[in-house]
Chain A
Amino acid sequence: SAVISQKPSRDICQRGTSLTIQCQVDSQVTMMFWYRQQPGQSLTLIATANQGSEATYESGFVIDKFPISRPNLTFSTLTVSNMSPEDSSIYLCSVVPQEIDTQYFGPGTRLTVL
């Protein structure tokens, strides 16, 4: 597997502001993903973070709202822009280690927007 950390673990933000979430892995990985989990719900994939190029977004998610960076094989950021209370969720990153066809998840970031 891989050791994955996320910062911050939780935050409370004001409407209209932005928050950047970091995901760090202890080894080089093939793939990195970002998910949103709304209260009491399953996980929804936001995008695939591509190393050195623009992320690939799922239907319903756009780059202006959720810009993603992945400058190398072990690090990625997700920004939640111009936040509204509807953005209150848990945001999780996941990784697929090299030569292992399995996703492993970070500890998640609990975001509350007031």
Chain B
Amino acid sequence: AQTVTQSQPEMSVQEAETVTLSCTYDTSESNYYLFWYKQPPSRQMILVIRQEAYKQQNATENRFSVNFQKAAKSFSLKISDSQLGDTAMYFCAFMKHGGSNYKLTFGKGTLLTVNP
């Protein structure tokens, strides 16, 4: 079974600054996907970024990028030029590759507050 750990229950950052959210995971699988989802107060879960484990290059989506360290089983999210709209709960998640399962294992989440 997989586990996902987010060790920072809450974080805060000033607008326009950079913040990094941590995520570690444990798995015996060699091929898998990792995700960051964002859940603002509106409650919709929004996909922020996705990383395939077989790709060495770190995924990037505009101001969002990841630092994927496969050997260390670490998957941190960096948010650059933080905006007030980035205030949300952020969840790290794991999905095994292949088969017909598609199930996600979630971490407990990190509440990020962006201050003006």
Contact = CB atoms under 8 A, between A and B. Distances in A.
Interface stretch (B11-19, B80-88, B97-105): B97-105
A101 B102 contact: yes
A41 B43 CA distance: 12
Contacts of A20: none
A72 interface: no
A6 B39 CA distance: 16
Contacts of B46: 105
A90 B97 contact: no
Given A42-B109, A43-B91, A103 B104 contact: yes
A90 B42 CA distance: 11
Interface in A27-67: 30-31, 33, 41-43, 45, 48
A92 B45 contact: yes
A107 B109 contact: no
B68 interface: no
Given A42-B91, A92-B45, A102-B47, A31 B102 contact: yes
Contacts, number: 48
Q: Which 10 pairs between the two chains have the least Cβ-Cβ distance? A: A105-B45, A108-B43, A96-B102, A107-B44, A42-B106, A31-B102, A42-B108, A43-B106, A42-B109, A90-B43
Given A1-B47, A31-B102, A106-B44, 20 more contacts: A30-B102, A33-B103, A41-B108, A42-B108, A43-B45, A43-B91, A43-B104, A94-B45, A101-B102, A102-B47, A103-B102, A103-B104, A104-B47, A105-B45, A105-B46, A107-B42, A107-B43, A107-B44, A108-B43, A108-B45
14 contacts: A30-B102, A31-B102, A42-B106, A42-B109, A43-B45, A43-B104, A90-B43, A101-B102, A103-B35, A105-B45, A105-B46, A106-B44, A108-B44, A110-B43
